[in-house]
């Protein structure tokens, strides 16, 4: 069947017409594509190129080397240690678990650690190294390296980690570093990008925290080219960061070591301050803990043990601990009265062992009374009644004023954590906090450093330093930052009559060196090192009727945490004072029996620049002191040749 030619011509024309329509549509579409392409590649090319660069280029931060912390003689207190660790890369390892099991035969690696690594590995992309074990010994690293063929994907690495060679001695002062927490980030207005580096550590406590800004340094950066999954292809450029500045403290590590060792076994604190510039030579708090545990990440049981310890090792008692200063406060009351002109040194007050004020009886610590005492003997024998008497003449305001001038109730600006301000109670304060009016009994309690008065061992040391020098000594702890000596100007005078100060000093001298002085047992016989001090025994809880009924008569019979605090403050040498020292022993009992001997040992060590000679001690005590010194020697960190310049 042959179709007519016309028919085929027609159909061909129809197809042709439709083909042209379709071709036209296609031409329009191709044109649209071309236009779109032109628009993107010519008009918007710059914008897209920028986006491509952003895709490609990644900034990686290079963590800066943290500044080290040294003592006044350059001894390392916080340093950076090379730390060997092993990392695993999933894509190189193949069967990660099998590799880890093999590795567990070479280095300590328990099931929990393996589980943790497996979790981490799964969470990250296959080329991201995950730390398997940290702080490996050289032997362990060598073992891993020797068995490399059996451990595919495992690479030994070297990094820096923080180390505290003086361990317990400087835990409270220097503090420690730890992983950056959410809270750390929140506290900063503009968080340093370096904080986002995994594993970066930030100062958590003490100098490490307070001087974080100088210790940290600034991060360097690498511009790297990455592919779509973030793998580093190559480094494009590198800007080195600035390492953190080194910080020199004024503290003498040897004295600090001695002070802490001497305090060990008690819950106590001691501060030694240099009178010339206010340099803090030692700030010890016992018991202490090893900050290295924290820098490495402390285990829960270890941390719980520190929390549960009744002696509160985590608390820095030297600057955070606030205590009723007890009799060590009497210099303040006496000086206030002298300056007010309400009392003359020769005036005698009769102490019958108590004083009745507005229907209440206030006892002197000496039940039988001191008899007739003047200012100097009231200080040296620590008669309470004398101060009950004079405080009523001057009132709490003038006592507070003098306390403030001597540095009490003031938060000193030293780079330690939670520095407490203590308390100089005022009428307004009591009204506000207690809702009760100030009573004369409150003034009487305050006059002997009881009641509401609170001070830190640091403040007591500063107070003593100001009494010894007559200058407004300010404590400081930083000697140099980044090698630049910090300005520590000589303190201005206190504007207190030198004659009045001399009388106070005489009272302190007689406390320690007069036969009837409360600290006579802790005197120093070497004229070069003679001390002048003041004991204090501050009541935490008075003996309750219930205790009395149970037969408790003396403080020592009570449970530890209800006993009195023992305090002692002193300056030395007596004639040309160089240092002031304070010691507080929590619930230690009596200031003269417990605190004063400790303060003497520490002061002598500071003055002598090492274990003090036995000749400094009174002859009858030398045998006992020798035994003690031998025991102490074992507890000290062995020193190289002593570098500390004397004075």
Partner 1 sequence: MSYLEYTVTRTPTGLSKVLYFHWALVLLPIAVAEIGFLMLYSIAGGSLSPWAEPQMRRFALGLGVMFVTAMVPIWFWRNMAGLAYGASLVLLIWVEFFGSVGMGAQRWIDLGFMRLQPSEVAKVTLVLALAAYYDRLDVRRASRPVWVVLALLLILLPTFLVLRQPDLGTALLLLAGGAAVMFLAGVHWLYFAVVIALGVAGAVAVMMSRGTEWQLLKDYQYRRIDAFLDPSIDPLGAGYHISQSKIALGSGGWSGRGFMQGTQSRLNFLPEKHTDFIFTALAEEFGFVGGASLLLLYALILVFCVVIALQHKDRFSALLTLGVAATFFLYFMVNMAMVMGLAPVVGVPLPLVSYGGSAMLVLMFAFGLVQSAHIHRPRNRS
Residues that bind partner 1 (CB under 8 A): 1-3, 7-12, 14-16, 18-23, 26-27, 29-30, 33-34, 36-38, 40-42, 44-45, 47-49, 51-53, 55-56, 225-229, 233
DSSP string over 534-589: EEEEE-SSPPPHHHHHTT--SGGGS-GGGSPEEEEEEEESSSS--EEEEEEETT-S
Minimum CB separation from partner 1 for residue 5, in Å? Answer: 9
Minimum CB separation from partner 1 for residue 28, in Å? Answer: 11
Q: Which is nearer to partner 1, 18 or 135 (CB)?
A: 18
Q: Which is nearer to partner 1, 6 or 123 (CB)?
A: 6
* Three-state SS at 120: helix
* Three-state SS at 169: helix
The two structure tokens encoding residue 353: 């062992």
The two structure tokens encoding residue 446: 């305050």
Q: Where do we find the tokens 């439709």? A: 18
Q: Which is nearer to partner 1, 50 or 527 (CB)?
A: 50
How does DSSP classify residue 282? E
Q: Where do we find the tokens 């042209």? A: 20
Strand ranges in 169-208 using DSSP code E only, listed in sequence order: 177-179, 201-203
Minimum CB separation from partner 1 for residue 35, in Å? Answer: 10
Angle formed at CA 219 by CA 218 and CA 224, multiple of 5 degrees = 155
Q: Is the Cβ–Cβ distance between 273 and 281 less than 8 Å?
A: yes
Q: Look at residues 195, 160, 201, 199 and name the one whose alpha carbon lies nearest to residue 178.
A: 201
The two structure tokens encoding residue 197: 């580096």
Q: Which is nearer to partner 1, 7 or 112 (CB)?
A: 7
Instruction: Please indicate whether residue 447 is annotated as part of the active site.
Output: no
* Three-state SS at 355: strand
Minimum CB separation from partner 1 for residue 136, in Å? Answer: 35
Q: How many whole angstroms separate alpha carbon 549 and alpha carbon 551?
A: 5
Q: How big, in percent rounded to 5, are the helix, strand and coil portions of the chain?
A: 45, 20, 35
How many contiguous H segments (helices) and E segments (strands) does the chain have?
A: 23, 21
- CB within 8 A of 554, min separation 6: which ones? none
37-51 burial, b at 16+ Cβ within 10 Å, e below that, comes to eeeeeeeeeeeeeee
Minimum CB separation from partner 1 for residue 61, in Å? Answer: 21
First-to-last C-alpha distance (Å) of the chain: 130
Q: Which is nearer to partner 1, 17 or 372 (CB)?
A: 17
Q: How many whole angstroms separate alpha carbon 475 and alpha carbon 456?
A: 13
Minimum CB separation from partner 1 for residue 8, in Å? Answer: 6
Minimum CB separation from partner 1 for residue 126, in Å? Answer: 14
How does DSSP classify residue 323? B
Q: Look at residues 33, 169, 184 and name the one whose alpha carbon lies nearest to residue 639.
A: 169
Q: How many whole angstroms separate alpha carbon 9 and alpha carbon 31?
A: 32
Minimum CB separation from partner 1 for residue 50, in Å? Answer: 8
Q: Which is nearer to partner 1, 1 or 158 (CB)?
A: 1
Handedness of CA 69, 610, 586, 306 (dihedral sign): positive
How does DSSP classify residue 39? I
Q: Which is nearer to partner 1, 21 or 556 (CB)?
A: 21
Q: Which is nearer to partner 1, 36 or 553 (CB)?
A: 36
The catalytic position among 161, 318, 327, 582 is 327
How do strand 76-89 and strand 129-136 relate by DSSP bridges?
A: antiparallel
Minimum CB separation from partner 1 for residue 91, in Å? Answer: 15
- HSE-up of residue 244 (Cα within 13 Å, Cβ side): 25
Q: Which is nearer to partner 1, 18 or 348 (CB)?
A: 18
Minimum CB separation from partner 1 for residue 79, in Å? Answer: 41
Q: Which is nearer to partner 1, 34 or 185 (CB)?
A: 34
Q: Which residue numbers are catalytic?
A: 327
């Amino acid at each position: 069947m042959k179709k007519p030619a016309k028919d085929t011509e027609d159909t061909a024309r129809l197809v042709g017409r439709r083909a042209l329509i379709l071709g036209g549509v296609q031409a329009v579409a191709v044109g649209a594509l071309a236009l779109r392409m032109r628009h993107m590649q010519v008009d918007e090319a710059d914008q897209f190129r920028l986006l491509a660069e952003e895709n490609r280029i990644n900034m990686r931060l290079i963590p800066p080397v943290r500044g080290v912390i040294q003592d006044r003689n350059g001894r390392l207190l916080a340093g950076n240690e090379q730390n060997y660790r092993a990392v695993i890369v999933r894509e190189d390892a193949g069967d990660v678990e099998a590799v880890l099991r093999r590795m567990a035969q070479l280095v300590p690696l328990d099931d929990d650690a393996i589980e943790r690594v497996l979790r981490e590995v799964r969470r990250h992309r296959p080329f991201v190294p995950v730390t398997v074990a940290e702080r490996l010994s050289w032997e362990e690293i060598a073992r891993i390296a020797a068995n490399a063929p059996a451990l595919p994907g495992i690479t030994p690495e070297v990094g820096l980690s923080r180390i505290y060679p003086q361990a317990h001695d400087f835990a409270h002062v220097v503090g420690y570093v730890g992983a950056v927490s959410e809270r750390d980030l929140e506290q900063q207005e503009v968080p340093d990008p370096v904080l986002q580096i995994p594993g970066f550590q930030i100062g958590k406590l003490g100098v490490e925290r307070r001087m974080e800004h100088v210790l940290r340094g600034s991060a360097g950066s690498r511009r790297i080219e990455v592919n779509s999954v973030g793998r580093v292809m190559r480094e494009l450029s590198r800007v080195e960061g600035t390492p953190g500045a080194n910080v020199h403290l004024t503290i003498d590590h040897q004295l600090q070591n001695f002070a802490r060792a001497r305090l060990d076994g008690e819950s106590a604190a001691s501060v030694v301050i240099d009178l010339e510039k206010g340099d803090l030579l030692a700030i010890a708090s016992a018991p202490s803990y090893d900050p290295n545990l924290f820098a490495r990440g402390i285990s829960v049981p270890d941390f719980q043990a520190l929390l549960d310890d009744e002696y509160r090792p985590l608390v820095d008692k030297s600057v955070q601990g606030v205590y009723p200063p007890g009799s060590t406060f009497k210099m303040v009351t006496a000086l206030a009265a002298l300056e007010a002109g309400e009392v003359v040194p020769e005036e005698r007050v009769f102490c019958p062992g108590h004083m009745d004020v507005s229907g209440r009886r206030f006892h002197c610590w000496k039940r039988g009374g001191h008899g007739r005492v003047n200012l100097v003997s009231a200080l040296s024998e620590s008669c309470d009644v004398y101060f009950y008497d004079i405080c009523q003449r001057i009132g709490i305001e003038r006592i507070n004023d003098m306390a403030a001038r001597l540095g009490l109730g003031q938060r000193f600006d030293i780079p330690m954590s939670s520095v407490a301000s203590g308390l100089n109670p005022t009428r307004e304060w009591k009204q506000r906090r207690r809702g009760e009016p100030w009573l004369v009994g409150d003034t009487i309690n305050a006059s002997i450093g009881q009641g509401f008065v609170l001070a830190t061992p640091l403040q007591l040391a500063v107070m003593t330093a100001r009494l010894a020098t007559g200058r407004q000594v300010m404590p400081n702890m930083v000697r140099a930052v980044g090698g630049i000596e910090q300005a520590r100007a000589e303190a201005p005078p206190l504007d207190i009559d030198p004659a009045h100060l001399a009388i106070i000093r005489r009272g302190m001298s007689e406390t320690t060196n007069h036969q009837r002085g409360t600290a006579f047992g802790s005197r120093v016989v070497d004229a070069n090192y003679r001390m002048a001090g003041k004991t204090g025994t501050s009541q935490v809880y008075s003996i309750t009727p219930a205790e009395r009924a149970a037969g408790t008569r003396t403080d020592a019979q009570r449970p530890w945490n209800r006993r009195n605090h023992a305090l002692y403050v002193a300056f030395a040498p007596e004639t040309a004072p160089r240092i002031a020292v304070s010691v507080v022993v929590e619930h230690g009992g009596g200031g003269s029996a417990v605190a004063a001997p400790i303060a003497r040992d520490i002061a002598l060590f500071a003055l002598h620049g090492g274990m003090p000679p036995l000749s400094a001690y009174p002859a009858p005590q030398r045998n006992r002191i020798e035994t003690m010194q031998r025991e102490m020697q074992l507890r000290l960190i062995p020193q190289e040749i002593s570098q500390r310049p004397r004075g």
